Structure 1
């Protein structure tokens, strides 16, 4: 019966059927093979999956990111980062990474980063003489920072399904987010030096001060969100409400974006995006119930612990599985289906839950820029007109940087666990 479910999933992916529908068909195939099971379980699992206080943060962070993208915030960040690092080797590529890092503290979404910052920065890089493949690859790689550095929509999902503190996950992602930016900026420096890519003239102090002042309201967003969470003023979910309110205030009153038709469209786009994600979440919860009933989690635990009970070895095996699954399955679906099944294994071998959660987030984000079904890859290819093969060719060297960060985090757990212990404790 489990074989039929897996074959249905594989066929759905090969035929290009949308992820949520593929997961739903896989679940239906299980019920058809077990006619004694009441079909009402499927809609019940759909509703149960979406009915979560923690998951309310998803549309809020999506809306905050859409508002930032549509009210001039992206341009302000671009101008400030260009004045700050544009004169270094690989100037606009460095700007791309730094802008993504700053924007990551606002949206929590790799897709918002790729579609918002990506449109502006890819055009700027190509206009200045950078290869389009390199421009696309820098954008795709830097977009992975978004869900690692807080706030983070995938971390909200992981915290919700695994019972891990979302606040600790957020704080645990700070140092890895900084590491991602540094690793990529160093890589860009050497590539740009070798290819003789252009750089801008150094901005004067008055120019830098002017651009900093213009971007300050946007730059303050992560401070407001994280400061409120750490200060106990609001929960990570409530922080989403604050982020939306703050984005609207600076968009309308500071950056004076008062096209209310455009603002209404942001709400429409957020509603569509939320519906798409929650459809996947509901379908994934239904399929997760099937896997739970078939005791797949126990089979996985027994199979992996038979190979090794060393926490580091087990963690590496899990991450390799996530890397493979991330190439074909949406991160939300991966989290809902596999994280709950893996939690008994993770806890049984003594892997720190925050360490696991942050690593899982990064590895799944790598899947977004990996063929054949990476969503960030498709967005960037649509922006640039590249084929997925051309994009992947440009990404190869950046995969090395991304995996180097993963390896560092695996073997030096303190890169993730130290800051939450210092700030939150426990």
Structure 2
């Protein structure tokens, strides 16, 4: 997972930066833009919750469906995605791969951060006119239920792009050294100019352009620290403009399609739900019960960590949020019992990988949106694979802590366990209510997220009496920022996937994968290796959007069940996500735990081996994934 990295704010201060009155003026302008985008973004999250909740109430309680609720939610959703993208850019929270950049010195990192922002600005400038043209043409399309011009929805694209251009310019003016900005601008302009001059050469290369733009180009940009969404966008825009005759407006249309899928409406709602669970104390209650149950056995709190991550995983939409909800509760006591910091962060990372298939994982929802696989089936199929990997991790925990000294640990009484269970019961019930509602067809993944939000609010107010109203606005803004970062990646990756498909690459790949010697076992083995690598570089959502539409039909053709294949690739990506030295999820776990990455490098090898054993079991026995589908 390329977890959000605050890269833009890491630019080193030095000569050539604004000072005095100019700096104050720029600071005031930045705060003004922040208010201009953050308040609407927060209100749009609330509006989405309200509109979808009204739709659920009218449909399931009053049996009188509101025909325009989904359409209005879809219109608001694109505006939320674009405003959230602006907030994420202003905060420096668009997802990046910084493994190589982090190895460089402060000055080199500062320049590459400026280069990343300059390249993002170039993409936005290139897309501004096509986005305006796209929105202008949508004025002739009328929405079926509300009977309004579709340009009301499509206008979110040019408005969001213009706001992001303003943010990028302001960020460069505020935190970039003048020399760095000048050299970065020169590098970007020179690269674009050289590519334009070489246009006739690209036109004659055929599908070799796919290697140049989507492998070499994307690879260089990603490893230089450019945000993933803008790396995808620049490569796709360059390919379509220089190697084909496709107008840029088509790319805008594909991005719009990718970001507007109705299933993705659940992304911001589950992100907000996860923050509510942490704020109301529900996560702490779950962990407290598990600790009272297992805290007296050798390695007991490690088992609690595995179980707690299983319960809370997938609800927040952010693996970092899942880890942040659990680690601060458990780690102090685990350290007091003699656990080594490196082992703690290694196990935390491993549990992050273990729980990637636990519904309502956003990766599962994304797979359903881009491949057409039933989300209810994915939610059902994802539960048992997580348990299999949890058992594998538990076996290693038993071995490592078999000699742990527990003479100073008091075993909780039955009364204390019962009291902890009663306290935790409303919190423990929530994940099962969410999953059962989707699996049983009571509500869609989008609708059930609103039910979860209402449940969490009621539990926080009436049961746990822990509800800080002052945190709601920052939580709404955080939700919009994370959602915008995710959705912009999906939009850019959708455009790239469309370009790959139109080039004929999908047919070539399908033929190559289908003709692999060895049949299904070799296909699955190659997929595992490929998605481990992709998981360490791209993160689950963009990798699935890019390669899901290409590989899932192949799996179906050669006889691999789609749900089984989904579990395999998700777990493989999870291992890559948390495997150092490139897995960014590992560094997120280190940051949350405040433990040096060096300390966990050796202990995590054993946990990665345990995860690999669990993945092999899941891959070898399809029943683990599809046995309960009926």
SS at match of 2:500: helix
How far, CA to CA, are the matches of 1:200 and 1:413 in structure 2? 41
Superposed displacement of residue 106, structure 1: 4.1
Superposed displacement of residue 128, structure 1: 3.1
The yes-or-no answer on 1:72 pairing with 2:281 is yes
How far, CA to CA, are the matches of 2:244 and 2:503 in structure 1? 16
Superposed displacement of residue 97, structure 1: 1.1
SS at match of 1:17: coil
Which residue matches 2:533?
324
Which residue matches 2:624?
415
Which of residues 246, 255, 273 in structure 2 aligns to 1:37? 246
SS at match of 1:40: helix
How far, CA to CA, are the matches of 2:217 and 2:581 in structure 1? 18
Which of residues 589, 613, 626 in structure 2 aligns to 1:404? 613
SS at match of 1:307: coil
Q: Which is further off, 26-35 or 352-361?
A: 26-35
Which residue matches 2:211?
3
The yes-or-no answer on 1:120 pairing with 2:329 is yes
Q: Which is further off, 299-308 or 341-350?
A: 299-308
Which residue matches 1:132?
341
Contact 2:341–2:600 (8 Å) recurs in 1: no
Contact 2:241–2:248 (8 Å) recurs in 1: no
How far, CA to CA, are the matches of 1:182 and 1:99 in structure 2? 14
Which residue matches 1:154?
363
Which residue matches 1:15?
224
Structure 2 segments unaligned to the other structure (5+ residues):
1-208
How far, CA to CA, are the matches of 1:330 and 1:103 in structure 2? 20
The yes-or-no answer on 1:204 pairing with 2:413 is yes
Q: Which is further off, 309-318 or 63-72?
A: 309-318
SS at match of 1:157: helix
User: Residues 209-288 of structure 1: matches in 2 within 5 Å?
Assistant: 209-288=418-497
How far, CA to CA, are the matches of 1:198 and 1:78 in structure 2? 22
Contact 2:341–2:599 (8 Å) recurs in 1: no
Superposed displacement of residue 100, structure 1: 1.1
What is the aligned residue count? Answer: 421
Change (3 A) 1:106 1:39: closer
Which residue matches 1:382?
591
Q: Which is further off, 145-154 or 95-104?
A: 145-154
Q: CA RMSD in A?
A: 1.9
Structure with bigger gyration radius? 2
Superposed displacement of residue 372, structure 1: 4.3
Contact 1:175–1:416 (8 Å) recurs in 2: yes
Q: Which is further off, 387-396 or 374-383?
A: 387-396
Structure 1 segments unaligned to the other structure (5+ residues):
422-426
Deviations 1:40-78 (A, max 9, x none): 122212111011111112112111111111221221112
How far, CA to CA, are the matches of 2:370 and 2:515 in structure 1? 26
SS at match of 1:81: helix
Contact 1:130–1:197 (8 Å) recurs in 2: no
Change (3 A) 1:184 1:199: farther
How far, CA to CA, are the matches of 1:296 and 1:77 in structure 2? 48
Superposed displacement of residue 34, structure 1: 2.5
The one of the two structures with greater contact order (alpha-carbon pairs below 8 A, sep at least 6) is: 1
Change (3 A) 1:107 1:384: closer
Superposed displacement of residue 86, structure 1: 0.7
Which residue matches 2:46?
none
SS at match of 2:601: helix
Contact 2:437–2:443 (8 Å) recurs in 1: yes
How far, CA to CA, are the matches of 2:513 and 2:506 in structure 1? 11
Q: Which is further off, 232-241 or 160-169?
A: 232-241
Change (3 A) 1:173 1:16: same
Superposed displacement of residue 13, structure 1: 2.0
Contact 1:113–1:146 (8 Å) recurs in 2: no
How far, CA to CA, are the matches of 1:84 and 1:153 in structure 2? 30
Change (3 A) 1:106 1:336: closer
| TM-score normalised per structure 2 | 0.64
How far, CA to CA, are the matches of 2:499 and 2:522 in structure 1? 28
Superposed displacement of residue 137, structure 1: 0.9
User: Residues 144-183 of structure 1: matches in 2 within 5 Å?
Assistant: 144-183=353-392
